[in-house]
Amino acid sequence: MLKKTNRPKKVFISVDMEGVCGVIRWDEVSASQPEYGHFRKLMTQEANAAIQGALDAGAEQIFVRDAHGTACNLLPDELHERAILIRGWSGGPLMMMEGIDESFDAAIFVGYHARIGSENGILQHTITRRLYNVSLNGRPVPELGINAAIAGYFRVPVVFVSGDRAIIEQAKELLGMREYVTVKEGVGKAAKNIHPHLARKFIREGVRRALERFDQFDPYLPERPFRFTLDFVEEEAAIRTALIPGAKQTGPRTVEFVSAEWMEALRFFALATYLAHHIR
């Protein structure tokens, strides 16, 4: 049997919180609430499981992007020492993928959740709860779709996703064959959760399997031109967003933006979601 030498050298891990095993309520993911401390620890443990899985597959460099809320959720002193942690928001367009570039071999998504409007989606939303739909090229997408396209822009494939059943089904529709781990399943506002120990075990094993064949997965990037359609909860958000050069208000709460360049489209999306989120 030939010894495999094509191992991933550099791996990017984006970690959100709503899709972490056990999390089902907004106060569990909010830094101002008493339950938050326990669940940020679970988030850190799932990140560590992914890191260990990457190491098991032979990864040499691992970067972890804290991608939830303040982007300061993962506990630095409890995160695996082999990982480089990216904390805080720079204000740049890469958002939940801050730090990724063409030098990475693979991207991994941990703790991800479904898009707004999903049946049985746990804590469903897309970037901000001020949006009730985000479409890219006419197709409703979760945050995973935007982030996979960012990775794809740098020719980096997403090889693994963990989260609730709703996001796993959406990821399969967008990305096709990858490694997936479902840690919980929504039942209305309730959820059926596996044990966190098992979630971490399955994440570690799934990441290892994914990275052992990372070169079999293609990067994801929608076809040009890139067309964002944003449907806002408040009309004011649409009016403000339409002030962005190139944006067009197509309905009372709907704004569209089209560009042949992905980074230009992404800059629009980042600014639009920022404006919506900061409406008082």
- The pLDDT tens digits for 77-99 are 999 999 999 999 999 999 999 99
pLDDT in tens, 212-252: 999 999 999 999 999 999 999 999 999 999 999 999 999 99
Query: Average pLDDT over the chain, rounded to whole?
Result: 96
pLDDT in tens, 169-221: 999 999 999 999 999 999 998 999 999 999 999 999 999 999 999 999 999 99
Reported as a pLDDT band with limits 50, 70 and 90, residue 4 is very low
Q: What does the pLDDT read at residue 248?
A: 98
Q: What does the pLDDT read at residue 66?
A: 98
Q: What does the pLDDT read at residue 2?
A: 35
Most distant CA pair in the chain, distance: 64
Residue 3 has pLDDT above 70, yes or no: no
**Comparing C-alpha atoms, which of 115, 162, 113 is closest to residue 136?**
115
**Comparing C-alpha atoms, which of 136, 166, 138, 165 is closest to residue 148?**
136
Beta bridge mates, 15: 66, 110
Q: Which residues are catalytic?
A: 125
